[in-house]
Structure 1
Amino acid sequence: MVIIKNKNVIILTLIFLVMFTLNLLTPLFADDFNYSFMWDKSKKIENLIDVVKSQQMHYVQWGGRTVAHTLGQTLLMTSKLLRSFLNALVYVALIYLIYWHSQGKKLKFSRNVSIVLLIALLCWVSLPSFGETTIWLIGSVNYLWTTVIMLLFLIPYRLKLLSNAVFVKDNIIQLLGMFIMGILAGWSNENTSLLVLILTAIAVVYFLQKRMMGKWMLAGFAGTMIGYLFLILAPGNMVRASHMEKPADYSFLLYHIKVPAFMTISIMKFQVPVWIAFIMIMSVLLNYLVRNKLSFKNMLITYGHDFLYSFTFIGFSILNNLIMFASPQFPLRAGFGSSVFLIIGVLGLLRIEVTKRLFNIKIVKTLNIATICFLIVTMGFVIRQYSILYHENNARMNSLNNEKQTGNDSVIVKPFSIDKSSPYQTLNRHVFISDIGGNPNVWPNTIYAQYYGFKSIKELDH
């Protein structure tokens, strides 16, 4: 038992070390420079008071993601070592929370090396724009950190669904805690926070019907509602929208049907391994029912809660993408919540005893070894690519220091050698690069120059 437990500790420790290394190797990019300043660009952020003032301006002038960008600006004040450590820790927390949501307390964490490895694998291959959403600082606080906040907030509801035991008490401290966590969860990310709000509302109705209602559930729901209203009603949302010019080829069919449909397909391409796991699990369940001449109703009697929870999350995974059809912009990174919800929903079906017949011990061991080998090879490649980026950025910093010493305030730097449009060089977006361009008068060149104290900066022409 101890040996198995240590295996999981070793797995998560190694994943932490890989993510910590990747974070240390990653340079700052445009939005990192941007959020290192007060929002009016009057000076660099120096303390928490500056962060508060900056976010007040941001809320009015640009957008409502106050929780994410408060985290981002606070982390940018710390050392690279500390923020790399914290970001890696939050990624490990994501894996653990996915395990907790999908498996609950029935399958103890210390006894399920295979499931932990499977979660690690699916997160590595199925989270769209992995480098942008889990490694790059500002991208990470917008997607990784906020998703962890939302999953943490939903844990008490999950545990209540599994058991009628009391996990959160209706005292003032815990009611306030659920209310505050609800605000943070609702004030995180437009499409995924909306799903959390709907999930919380469904949970309240369900537990009310089952006579399992607690005041903390209502406190959490109220907090989520308030947080989401703060998010979507931010004056800056309208200001930013007014600054966005419609493309010359704009049409409702193109930008609200065709483009989102293709983006949804792109997100689902990343999710293919999860859907394959879903098909395999459902095949085993259906085969069991047919061989034993049972109806699906028989299984629902025993595993109703597991099916309810899993298919709710699978459905909400799809809904997470459909919501984005209403948005004028639908970047690939917006599918982060969709993939997390899908992994939870599909792996939640592994709680059903019959699914254990999917693999025998030899097959499980073989898959575990294959997973470990795949992760070692691909993670090693990504570390190598980020190492190249790290050394090239250090050379650039040395060049900038030399230019500053000679009094040159208009500088030209070499572009990074990794082609960000190449699926091979970025390992299908695991390596994130957002470099400057050849025009010194456009953003991000202007913010890059301001951060390092130059009049202008641009890339060397190819």
Structure 2
Amino acid sequence: MSQSQDKLGRSLLVLLSIFLVMLLLNHWMPLHRDDYDYSLIWMTSEHIASVQDTVYSAYRHYLLHGGRMFTVLCLNFFLWLGKFAFDIANALMFTALVVLMYFHACRSVTWRREPLMLAVTGLFAWLSFPHFGEVAVWKSGSTVYLWSAVPVALFLLPYNITLAKGHAALGKWALLPMLLLGLIAGWSVENLAVTVLGLTAAISWHLHRQGKLLGWMPAGACGALLGLIGLVGAPGNFVRYDDQGAGKGILAHIGNQFAGNGEMLLYILPLVLLLLCAWRVFKLDLAKQKGEQPVHCSLQFGWRQWLMLGTILLLVVSYFNGSFVAWTVRDILYAGVMVPLGLTKQKTIDHFDNLFKGFDEMAIYWLTLFFVYALVKKQLGLTTPAIKMLTEKVKAREVWRTFPVVRYAGAMLALALLNNLVMIAAPTFPARATFSSVAMIIIAAVAVLRDPLIRGYFVAHGRTVLTAGALGLGAFTLSAALLVTYTMRQENDVRIVLVQKAAAQGESIAYMDPITMKNRALRHVFFVDFDNGVTKDGLCKYYGIKDIKVNPEK
């Protein structure tokens, strides 16, 4: 077998693995919350029973709730087609997005050559997308964010390749396909649609000034404009804005930016730390050219490293055994702090308990990240004196001017921030709305890691630690997500039987015990109990009962 065939086989194996993991998560994830509402003709109690019903329901949604026509059509169609078809389609969409992000990082279509970087792209997507279970597994959420990102990434790829190669990536034949794809890309998610229009218009103008403009470039921008008009001009947008945006001034919108970007930063922390190391490695290379020589340290653990590693292992054992560490810490703080301060109201206690439901996994995640970061810095020679030397000897503008990949990554990071800034017009800015911005940041990180200097330096000096850290974080989060998703599915099935039984017996209320699942697996699982308003309302309409009562927790 040739080297090229071997890499092709390994690349296909990586993609197959990503697809199978996502298929399993989707298979175990039941219909939930808004899925029941969208399984009915919008704002009625009538089940979608035909293709015509999917279109009619999307039309009613457009008039009464929002303008995301393309994603709602997809959601309605696959909910009607059946859950297993949806599971397959959703897993394929996630796999396609990983491939497209890698293409954008390469600025070419060459996926078969680097199976390792494909795997890294998949790992970044797994760790960094905010509220992963909500935006990439849950049906209603994934069609909004994941299913919008895929056509947008595909649409923007020819523009990116054209800028990189200096000549058109497509011929004249592409005018109509790019117009139609631009229409879909513009009719996606509000902030992403604005970014797409501005970006394609700016690239078209830039290439026009260079005398390299072809018809498909402005055609794509025109399609994006038409899609954006269809998206924001929906009558349903004004209905929803009246409900969500009433009484919110500009300060609330600015505050949303801090909240949304701040939460995004927590999710992309692995990317931030890797990019920070890479930035310093670029500086090290320039410092070497000036006669400076870094000192690389051996991989030796001191007592602090052994203590941190032991704490991580203890927390892992705790996580898979009822989170005994989290609840012990919770009890100590409750008795020693909450009670003396008089913070004993039930609502306060509920919020306090909710914090500790995710304590173990967050502690494992954060400790592992900083543990790996500290070791990698040491192996790369990025000691405190070395960093101080780099600050004095190498200026940021030198790095910017010398390395093209730094300029490309910088442009992607700036684009991500602008994409988030567009959300200042929205009444709310949940972290899931940063999905497309995080995709841009992942592209920037993969592009930097592909750079021969960075890749060679990391392989030579940090490969062991980075590999162990990636495998450790990946294995923990994946096993936790699979365990929690499977457990949640079992509990959900029991509850659905109770609801169906109540409906079959003509009872107006279904009674059930609260869910016992407490772990959240870093938000890779999205599930709330049936007494939640959104879930309860949709379920009741779907099964034809009036109410669901969850018994008080014992």
TM-score, normalization: structure 1? Answer: 0.90
CA distance 1:332–1:298, shift in 2 (3 Å) = closer
Counterpart amino acid of 1:432?
A: F
Q: CA deviation at 1:194?
A: 1.2
List aligned pairs for 1:431-442, cutoff 5 A.
Answer: 431-437=525-531
Matched, 1:99 2:190: no
The corresponding residue for 2:282 is 285
Aligned counterpart in structure 1 of residue 120 of structure 2, from 107, 118, 121 = 118
Matched, 1:457 2:543: no
SS in 2 for 1:449: helix
CA-to-aligned-CA distance 1:159-203 (integer Å, 9 cap, x gap):
2122245532212xx211100100100110011221111111121
Aligned counterpart in structure 2 of residue 344 of structure 1, from 429, 432, 443 = 443
Mapped partners of 2:396, 2:475: distance in 1: 40
Q: Any conservation in 1 of the 2:498–2:510 contact (CA below 8 Å)?
A: no
Q: CA deviation at 1:366?
A: 5.3
The corresponding residue for 2:476 is 377
The corresponding residue for 1:422 is none
List aligned pairs for 1:311-322, cutoff 5 A.
Answer: 311-322=410-421
Q: CA deviation at 1:303?
A: 5.5
Mapped partners of 2:467, 2:100: distance in 1: 21
SS in 1 for 2:522: coil
Counterpart amino acid of 1:459?
A: V
CA-to-aligned-CA distance 1:28-55 (integer Å, 9 cap, x gap):
1121011111113151112221122222
List aligned pairs for 1:161-310, cutoff 5 A.
Answer: 161-171=163-173, 174-244=174-244, 246=246, 252-253=250-251, 255-293=252-290, 304=404, 306-310=405-409
Q: Any conservation in 1 of the 2:65–2:240 contact (CA below 8 Å)?
A: yes
Counterpart amino acid of 1:20?
A: L
Mapped partners of 2:493, 2:129: distance in 1: 29
Q: CA deviation at 1:18?
A: 1.1
The corresponding residue for 2:53 is 50
CA distance 1:288–1:209, shift in 2 (3 Å) = farther
Mapped partners of 1:377, 1:296: distance in 2: 37
Q: Any conservation in 1 of the 2:484–2:521 contact (CA below 8 Å)?
A: no
Higher mean alpha-carbon deviation, 57-66 vs 356-365, is at 356-365
CA-to-aligned-CA distance 1:210-266 (integer Å, 9 cap, x gap):
22211110110100111111111111111112233747xx5543x223343133111
The alignment yields a C-alpha RMSD, in angstroms, of 2.4
Mapped partners of 2:401, 2:76: distance in 1: 50
CA-to-aligned-CA distance 1:7-46 (integer Å, 9 cap, x gap):
2222221221111111111111121011111113151112
Give the fraction of aligned pairs with identical amino acids, expressed as a percent. Answer: 29
Counterpart amino acid of 1:116?
A: L
Higher mean alpha-carbon deviation, 54-63 vs 288-297, is at 288-297
Q: CA deviation at 1:453?
A: 2.2
CA distance 1:71–1:152, shift in 2 (3 Å) = same
Q: CA deviation at 1:298?
A: 8.4
CA distance 1:406–1:206, shift in 2 (3 Å) = same
Mapped partners of 1:115, 1:237: distance in 2: 40
SS in 2 for 1:63: coil
The corresponding residue for 2:85 is 82
Mapped partners of 1:120, 1:237: distance in 2: 34
SS in 1 for 2:81: coil
SS in 2 for 1:211: coil
The corresponding residue for 2:538 is 447
Mapped partners of 2:259, 2:541: distance in 1: 37
SS in 2 for 1:428: helix
SS in 1 for 2:453: helix
Q: Any conservation in 1 of the 2:100–2:153 contact (CA below 8 Å)?
A: yes
Counterpart amino acid of 1:125?
A: L
CA-to-aligned-CA distance 1:369-406 (integer Å, 9 cap, x gap):
54234322321111100111111111122223333443
Higher mean alpha-carbon deviation, 197-206 vs 179-188, is at 197-206
SS in 1 for 2:500: helix
Q: CA deviation at 1:295?
A: 9.0
Indicate the structure (1 or 2) with the bigger Cα radius of gyration: 2
Structure 2 unaligned regions, length at least 5: 291-393
Counterpart amino acid of 1:269?
A: L
Higher mean alpha-carbon deviation, 43-52 vs 81-90, is at 43-52
Q: Any conservation in 2 of the 1:94–1:148 contact (CA below 8 Å)?
A: yes
